[in-house]
Amino acid sequence: MVNIKPQPGIMKIDLYEGGASELKGQNDVLKLSSNENPFGPSPKAVDAYSISGKALHRYPSTSHDELRRAISRILDLQPENIICGVGSDEIISLLCQTFSGQGDEVIYTEHGFAMYKISALAAGATPVVVKEKNRTTDIKNILNKCNENTKLIFIANPNNPTGTMITLKQVEELAMKIPKQALLVLDGAYAEYVDNYDGGSQIVKNKSNVIMTRTFSKIYGLGGMRVGWGFGPKPVIEALQRVRGPFNLSVPALAVAEAAITDQDYIKRCKEENNATRDWFIASLRKLGLACDNSFTNFVLLRFKNKSQAELCDQYLQSKGVIVRRVDGYNLPEALRITVGDRNTCERLVGVIEEFLVRQE
Ligand SMILES: Cc1ncc(COP(=O)(O)O)c(C=O)c1O
């Protein structure tokens, strides 16, 4: 008789649900469900991908030296404080594996990114959910949930799927007040979309209990390549490096990410285009009488009166070939998360949503 059982906590994990990319029977589909950059990656990153094909028989660098140096040069950070991973998902998972286990608590907010809970459970730790205030992180609520078992506190700033954020002053206050055994993780997956914002890297430089995670999947347009990184205190990075697989990033992934971060002119153009279109999109939705918060990201959280209206709108959008993201799993059943496309896409979308509302009357 076999008695094979996964570690405690594993079977409590709900499988991660990615943004859908297909609609049955439709060929011309508009995918706005995964917060991807509609313009794709920098052409320089695409060139680097082709060139890297010639070295596929070689193992990749284990140290990621060149990529870490490129990130440091562009963002004025120290390479020895950087760890690179298979998306920031891997950094989140390494953090949970390295700093939490049975009996430990991992805090994240009510509408926080799904991987915090998944990674905490996978590490055997206990996930602890904290209420937000008006769909925004509330540091008082976080501090109220902290205790001697708290090991990790995740906040995405700006947050997915709400698009909202708190100030660096609030982040600093949180870092100052958390228990001494707890590490604050600032997830900056959307940091590049925010004006005059360093994702919290200055706070990381000044504190020994804060780490920032970043990704190449959003503004860098490289979701398919799977590269992310973390910037944190040296003892934290050194612990994470011991758990990371030695060849976690492939030859193409390293080459492409390095080329992408070096092309900051491209990133600047993507940001300007996104932010102008996003603000126009939000204003247009509000003119239709719909509710949405200001967004600091490349997506908009559109709220309806109730879950059934959100469902009906989602169905109508699908019938027109548009895929957006239902966010019931994020405790927002009355909302839809919509990635900001290019201007033409957003104009088309406003038209379709207006048609839906007229049909509802
Ligand atoms: C807030 C947040 N953090 C982290 C990630 C993970 O991104 P990746 O693993 O592609 O770097 C995402 C992806 O959607 C996200 O929204």
**Total residues found in the chain within this entry:** 361
**DSSP state letters, 188-244:** -TTGGGSTT--TTHHHHHH-SSEEEEEESSSTT--TTT--EEEE--HHHHHHHHHHS
Q: Where are the domains of the chain?
A: 10-40+265-360, 43-263
Q: What is the pLDDT of residue 360?
A: 86
Q: What is the pLDDT of residue 24?
A: 80
Q: What is the pLDDT of residue 26?
A: 83
Report which ligand 1 atom has the smallest distance to the Cα of 215. 11
Average confidence score pLDDT of the chain: 96
How far does residue 160's CA lie from ligand 1's centre (Å)?
8
Give the pLDDT band (50/70/90) at residue 201: very high
Q: Does domain 10-40+265-360 have CATH number 3.90.1150.10?
A: yes
| Residue 21: pLDDT over 80 | no
User: What is the C-alpha to C-alpha distance for residues 122 and 118, in angstroms, rounded to an integer?
Assistant: 6
Q: What is the pLDDT of residue 350?
A: 97
Convert the pLDDT of each residue in 93-113 to its tens digit: 999 999 999 999 999 999 999
In this predicted model, which residue has the larger pLDDT, 8 or 301?
Answer: 301
| Residue 144: pLDDT over 90 | yes
SS3 at position 129: strand
Say what percent of the chain tops pLDDT 70.
100
Report which ligand 1 atom has the smallest distance to the Cα of 216. 11
The listed CATH number (3.40.50.720, 3.40.640.10, 1.25.40.10, 3.30.1490.190) that belongs to domain 43-263: 3.40.640.10
| Residue 17: pLDDT over 90 | no
| Contact of 106 with 125, CB cutoff 8 Å | yes
The residues pairing with 338 across neighbouring beta strands, listed in sequence order, are 300
| Contacts for 222 with CB less than 8 Å, ≥ 6 apart | 41, 45, 216, 256, 257, 260
User: What is the C-alpha to C-alpha distance for residues 310 and 242, in angstroms, rounded to an integer?
Assistant: 45
163 touches ligand 1 (CB under 6 Å): no
How many alpha carbons fall within 13 Å on the CB side of residue 218?
A: 25
Give the pLDDT band (50/70/90) at residue 58: very high
189 touches ligand 1 (CB under 6 Å): yes
222 touches ligand 1 (CB under 6 Å): no
The tokens describing 199, both together, are 């994702």
Convert the pLDDT of each residue in 274-317 to its tens digit: 999 999 999 999 999 999 999 999 999 999 999 999 999 999 99
Say what percent of the chain tops pLDDT 90.
94
The tokens describing 17, both together, are 């649900």
Q: What is the pLDDT of residue 25?
A: 79
Residue nearest to atom 13 of ligand 1 (CA): 189
Convert the pLDDT of each residue in 235-289 to its tens digit: 999 999 999 999 999 999 999 999 999 999 999 999 999 999 999 999 999 999 9
CA distances to 242, 330, 356 from 333, in Å? 40, 8, 18
How far does residue 345's CA lie from ligand 1's centre (Å)?
23
DSSP annotation of 133:
B
How far does residue 199's CA lie from ligand 1's centre (Å)?
14
In this predicted model, which residue has the larger pLDDT, 28 or 280?
Answer: 280
Q: What is the mean pLDDT of residues 169-173?
A: 98
Give the pLDDT band (50/70/90) at residue 139: very high
Burial of 124 (0-12, 13-18, 19+ CB in 10 A): middle
pTM for this entry: 0.96
Give the pLDDT band (50/70/90) at residue 27: confident
How far does residue 89's CA lie from ligand 1's centre (Å)?
6
